[in-house]
Chain A
Amino acid sequence: MPVLKPFRLRSTVHDWLGAPVTARHGILLLVALMLSVCIGEVQAGPAAPSILATILKWTPLLAQGFALNIAMSFLAMAIGTVLGLALGLGLIAVTRPVRATSWLITQFFRNAPWLVLLFYCILLMPFEVRIGATIIPLPGWAKSTAGLALPVMANVAELVRGAVQSIPSGQWEAAEALAFTRLQTLRLVVLPQCVKRMTPPWMNLYAIVVVATPLTSIVGVSEAMTLTGDVLSSEGRTELLVPMYLYLLTWFFIYCYPIARATVALERRFQVP
């Protein structure tokens, strides 16, 4: 029966991420990191402070920056998801103008390069908003978060549309025959079934947003990537370059790896036998 047929929602976002990251990749990364540290030590010579000690010295600062990356990814995801749900419902609206408008917005923000959206937000948004007497400052990280939220919104909208359309038409028919209104059908029958289907690709999208946050370093946000650059220029040692960036990469891996594994596990579980 079609309702229970094995179902696998192909990720609509970046198919190249479909291949799951495994622990092997992590080990590879660690080996590369250690190797680069060793090479660095050799290059630096015995007189210079050790690479490892330097990395550890800067770790608290990098952690601060990384916390901002996480905070931006969380906020962008939250805002993007709320907006995306609304936009996704617009994509399946009965009224044509609503559908067409939603489609345009979705296509624009889904296909525009993230960096371009980021620049738009940084350059077009004011540095502060005045509401009556109160002035709300808009720092770079806040504007960047908005810039990241836009493509998230468009991708979530597509996830919603895809999930809704993947629900067998018999579900709509049965609900209609029971005198449910369209909104009731969506709320009680269709969307609850979509949540399950959308969760794995949604988590996938989150991992993508996390690794996209270093883009904001280009517009001057003091996140981990920017700070790494600052550290390198203040240390002024070329042999630090490779180990430092690999170290940063490891942070991202450690954060994203569990998400990737959980996504794969959920995808497997939701493949109804």
Chain B
Amino acid sequence: MTSGWPPELPLIRMRDVHKKFGAATVIDGISIDVMKGEVICIIGPSGAGKSTLLRCINALVPIDSGSILVGGQEVNDPKLDKLALRRKVGMVFQQYNLFPHRTALANVMMAPLHVLKRSRAEVEAEARALMRKVRLEGKENSYPGELSGGQQQRVAIARSLAMQPAAMLFDEVTAALDPETVKEVLVTILELAEEGMTCVIVTHEMGFAREIADQIYFTDRGIVVEHGPPAEFFTNCKDERTRRFLSQVL
């Protein structure tokens, strides 16, 4: 579906995206390109519209105007096939949102089984491989409530990967975690990025962003204030707002 995506075209192409919730403007004209295999991190103060922007990419939140092309599919189209779009884009949430009534393995298997209607044997073999990949071998039969936050989040990553998405969205995935489990989740994402997964990451972990990102976007009040490769971005940012934000979080 997107495996043969031409490398010169952005896999995700956002142009002048606007989104209002009632009277509050959350996204006020954002344009971002994400190439295949690229990792971009979106940082910025709370309420800058970062999480909303991610939800616009997989049409969990409809946009008011502008354009988002994901693998050539226009998200801002009334005839949009949302399910086809969401099969291409995986998403991991701050609160994990695992299904608490199913085991870790069942969580990973559910979508390929019921959405893609693939055979159980095949799906189970892949799910077990994914559990190994996120280093949770042996936890297949545990229920989410029996796992630590970091472990749950890695199950959530595996669950998303089971759909074999072309891109992954990470929405502050370590914000709800205990400090000692943050690292294991970040390492998992780092490995994914190294394998060439296209990632859009909203994060407050500056060290992590610096290490993983090809491009860093700083957003504030619904616009991209500044962006650039991490080395450049962190050492000589130009905008006053960026500098103030960085001085607060670094």
Interface flag for B87 (CB, 8 Å):
yes
Q: Is B217 an interface residue (CB 8 A)?
A: no
Residue in A174, A176, A189, A192 whose Cβ sees the most chain B Cβ within 10 Å: A174
The 4 A-B residue pairs whose C-beta atoms are closest, nearest first, are A174-B97, A179-B86, A170-B97, A178-B111
A-facing residues in B93-136 (Cβ within 8 Å) = 93, 95-101, 110-111, 114-115
Is A1's CB under 8 angstroms from B149's CB? yes
Q: How many residues of A contact B (CB 8 A)?
A: 23
Q: How far is the CA of A189 from the CA of B99 in the complex (A)?
A: 7
Within 8 A of B (CB), among A177-225: 177-181, 184, 188-189, 192-193, 196
Assess the B58–A177 pair: CB atoms within 8 A: yes
A174 with B93: CB separation less than 8 A: yes
By a CB distance below 8 angstroms, the chain A residues around B159 are 178
Residues of B within 8 A of A176 (CB): 60, 86
Considering only CB atoms, which chain A residue lies closest to B86 in the complex? A179
Whether the Cβ atoms of A170 and B93 lie closer than 8 Å is: yes
Quick check: B99 and A180 within 8 Å, CB to CB? no
The yes or no answer to B160 lying at the interface (CB within 8 A) is: yes
Asked whether A178 and B163 contact (CB < 8 A) given A170-B93, A173-B93, A193-B101, the answer is: yes
Q: Are A4 and B97 in contact (CB under 8 A)?
A: no
Binary per-residue interface labels of chain A (146-185) against chain B in the complex, 1 for a CB within 8 Å, 0 otherwise = 0000000000000000000000101101111111110010
Interface residues in B144-182 by Cβ distance below 8 A to A read 144-145, 149, 156, 159-160, 163, 176
Other 16 A-B pairs with CB < 8 A, given A176-B60, A179-B82: A1-B95, A3-B100, A3-B144, A168-B97, A171-B97, A174-B93, A174-B156, A178-B111, A178-B159, A179-B83, A179-B87, A179-B111, A179-B115, A180-B111, A180-B115, A189-B99
Within 8 Å CB of A4, what residues of B?
A: 100, 144-145
Which of A1, A180, A181, A192 meets B96, CB within 8 Å? A1
Q: How far is the CB of A94 from chain B (nearest CB, A)?
A: 14
Q: Are A179 and B60 touching (Cβ within 8 A)?
A: no
With both chains docked as a complex, state the minimum distance between the C-beta of A22 and any C-beta of chain B, in angstroms: 31
The reply to whether A170 and B110 contact each other, CB–CB distance below 8 Å, is no
For A196, what are the chain B residues with a Cβ–Cβ distance below 8 Å? 101
Between-chain CB contacts (< 8 Å), 11 pairs: A1-B95, A1-B96, A3-B100, A168-B97, A174-B98, A177-B58, A177-B160, A179-B82, A179-B111, A180-B114, A193-B99
Contact code string B79-93 (vs A, CB < 8 Å = 1, else 0): 000111011011101
Question: Among the listed A171, A179, A184, which residue makes an inter-chain contact with B99, where contact means beta carbons less than 8 Å apart?
Answer: A171
* Most-contacted residue by chain A among B86, B97, B100, B115 (CB, 10 A): B97
Known: A178-B110, A178-B111, A272-B145. A2 touches B95 (CB 8 A): yes
**Cβ of B145 and Cβ of A178 under 8 Å apart?**
no
In the assembled complex, the Cα of A188 lies from the Cα of B107 at a distance in Å of 11
Q: Which residues does chain A contribute within 8 Å of B84, judged by CB atoms?
A: 179
Q: Are A181 and B83 in contact (CB under 8 A)?
A: yes
Of A3, A177, A179, A188, the residue contacting B95 (CB under 8 A) is: A3
Q: Could you say which of B95, B100, B101, B160 contacts A178, with CB atoms under 8 Å apart?
A: B160
What is the chain B residue whose CB lies nearest that of A273?
A: B145
Q: How far is the CB of A224 from chain B (nearest CB, A)?
A: 40
Once A1-B149, A176-B60, A178-B160 are accepted as A-B contacts, the answer to whether A188 and B97 lie under 8 Å apart by CB is no
The complex places the Cα of A178 from the Cα of B82 at a distance, in Å, of 11
Alpha-carbon separation in the docked complex, A229 to B87 (Å): 67
**Nearest CB of chain B from residue A116's CB, rounded to whole Å:** 40
A3 to B58, CA, bound (A): 23
Q: A2 contacts which chain B residues (CB < 8 A)?
A: 95
CB distance from A232 to the nearest CB of B (A): 52
> Which single residue of chain B is at the shortest CB-CB distance from A177?
B91
